[in-house]
Amino acid sequence: MCGVCGGIIRPDSAQTMNVEIIRRMSNALVHRGPDRDGFFLSPDCKVGLGFRRLSVIDLSSGDQPISNEDSSIQIVFNGEIYNFRELRATLENRGHRFQTNSDTETIVHAYEEYGVDCVQRLHGMFAFALWDSSSRKLFLARDRLGKKPLYYWHGSHGFFFASELKSLLQIPETPRQVDERSLAEYFRYQYIPAPRSILQGVLKLPPAHTLIYDVEQNSLNLSNYWQPEFEPKLRLSMDEAEEALLEELRKAVRQRLISDVPLGALLSGGIDSSLVVALMAEAGPQVKTFTIGFDDSGFDERPYAREVANRYDTEHHELVVRPNMLDVLPRLAWYLDEPMADPSALPTYYVSQMARQHVTVVLNGDGGDENFGGYWHHGAALTAQQLSMLPTWLRNGLLRLITQHGDRLSRIPLFSRLSRGLEQADWHLWKLHEIRMELFDTHSLQSLFPQAASLPSESNFERIYLQAQDLKSVDAMLRTDLLAVLPGQLLVKMDRMSMANSLETRSPLLDHKVVELAARLPANYKIAYRKKKILLRRLAARFIPNDLARRPKMGFAAPLQRWLYQEHAAPVRNILLDPQARIYEYVQRSAVKALLDCAPVERSTNSQRIWALLILENWLQGILN
């Protein structure tokens, strides 16, 4: 796992790249690769590549940049290619000669052999930049699910890229103006969807995309090379589907056990990570497992994780987190790189920190919910789709009846928002996804951030839904989670918090072969009325106790409400109500004060809103200062 950066100055520009610029960009990524660095500068000083290395495979000769035989191609690469040995054998049979044992060099020769289509043959997680001096083109690529990040900026005098935003900001000309549309999306969705970033003019390469920068033409060519296909469905019985899934998961886990450094697993106690640990134990020597919890039983899964660890005799490590939240916030905001308001970033940071004391690589259970229907909105999609087929007057009457007589439901903000959404005459399924992710609704957003009223109002979720309008409700939900929420939020959290601790994370449940198989399985193998992750739970029950396999999803959360409104209430108010706070360049103080002074019944919703403001304030002070 590494950090990459670099740039190309246009031939007609008087400016040049120099090693000092590349070194500054590279040093901003030192947490992603603390072991070594590397640089390439073209003879005309117009092209520069930088690299920070976390050594995992080929410790002795895998330093980057890596070139082909005549040095006409140079590459910097972040990630792991799990099929590199098979691909290397194929390339050697075609006459290619290798100088190292690294997976990185495999990409160089695959590009020579297959051109930009080489990405179709890469099985793994990756973000790379390849400079082809013969064609005068820079080739960027990002993996199918978006596990590894890549930012870029096309300026008036050239093109620049980096694994993180803070690396690009080492270039004085990089734009530093906050994009108001991106900020509105941050408040709305908790993250900023690709391709935009928080800064005007700086973009993210979307998952499963390649980009070619033609130096002579000063042009960009962006291309999408993969998407999960949900049709046609595979004609498999439930038993056959279970065996097919087990076969793919076993392959995915074994591939991710390739490492020249110590390796372990993050074990939450849920079925996803528990199944991964079981398959690791089946495949090799004793597994090292890492679990954290809080001194609050509502947020502590340690007993369940311990049960799995005991079953598979793992070398188990636990940590009870009692953080001084306000002390750690500046670090979280710095390592997140751009604002992202998922509070589970904090426990992810701590479990990564603990694991790094023992290993360099961990496997995790990310992807189980997105592939197999583990969230509440997947089940709600079935109900909502049925309700949407009723006449408007009948649907609204039923909803009012439920709200009036279901006192407990009517007090739940999420249910209230769902009811309001379904009452709209033009209701569409994508609006349910909006409701699921919505941090600030339209009214509260405009109270906080008045500029939102004048910004384009198209929905990121609507755009993704419209690309596959014929998919049925559950498949449409799962596809949107895979293409939007997963790479925008969950994988950002995992990448940034693990890399903050120089820890590589691997996700067998997000192997693209597993994703492709899951997508083409019937929706009722995944979710039905009051049942979620049906197939995955059935498979997990073969490896973990039945009570764990059937246990409801708990989620990897933190006692945020208690922290913000009780333990740290006074300092939180001091930070957010300080007249000099940077957030007031964008938001209304009265709206922030209303969040802090809200009634107890509103604190559950507002605690996440306050968290988003704290992250933004610390980001503005730490990175954009």
Tell me which residues are annotated as active site: 2
Tokens 């969950």 sit on residue: 490
**With helix as H, strand as E and coil as C, how does 380-432 read?**
HHHHHHHHHCCCHHHHHHHHHHHHHHCHHHHCCHHHHHHHHHHCCCCCCHHHH
- Whether the bond between 232 and the residue before it is cis, its omega within 30 degrees of 0, is yes
What's the rounded Cα separation, in Å, for the pair 213 and 153? Answer: 11
Angle at 27 between CA 22 and CA 30, to 5 degrees: 135
Q: What is the CA radius of gyration of the chain?
A: 24
What is the 3-state secondary structure of 322-350? CCCHHHHHHHHHHHHCCCCCCCCHHHHHH
Q: With both helix axes pointing from N to C terminus, report the angle between 376-388 and 413-422 in degrees, rounded to the nearest 10.
A: 30
> Are the CB atoms for 479 and 468 separated by under 8 Å?
yes
Residues 6+ apart with CB under 8 A from 67: 73, 74, 75, 108
- C-alpha distances in Å from residue 602, one per residue of 98, 409, 412, 594, 610: 61, 14, 9, 11, 12
Residue 279 backbone zone (phi > 0: left; psi -120 to 50: alpha; other: beta): alpha
Distance CA 463, CA 188 (A): 16
C-beta of residue 516 within 8 angstroms of C-beta of residue 120:
no
Contact 183, 189 (CB under 8 A): no
Report residue 218 CA to chain centroid gap.
31
CB 543 within 8 A of CB 278: yes
State the burial class of residue 14 (Cβ atoms within 10 Å of its Cβ: 0-12, 13-18, 19+): exposed
Say if CB 450 and CB 590 are below 8 A apart: no
Tell me which long-range contacts 23-27 makes (C-beta under 8 A, separation of at least 24): 23/50, 24/170, 25/50, 25/162, 25/167, 25/168, 25/170, 25/171, 26/50, 26/51, 26/52, 26/167, 27/170
State how far the Cα of 10 lies from the Cα of 215, in Å rounded to an integer. 6
Q: How far is CA 621 from the centre of its chain?
A: 24
Q: Which of 53, 294, 45, 61 is nearest to 158 (CA)?
A: 45
Q: Give CA–CA dist 209/376, Å, rounded.
A: 30
Nearest to 168 by CA among 152, 146, 147, 182: 152
Residue of 161, 146, 208 whose CA lies nearest to 367 = 146
Give whole-number Cα distances, 144 to 152, 207, 362, 497, 512, in Å: 18, 5, 20, 21, 7
For residue 228, whether the previous peptide bond is cis, meaning omega lies within 30 degrees of 0, is: no
Neighbouring residues of 443: CB distance < 8 A, sequence distance ≥ 6: none
Cβ-proximal residues to 391 (8 Å cutoff; 6+ apart), any chain: none
Burial 201-218 (b: 16+ CB within 10 A, else e): ebbbbbbbbbbbbebeeb
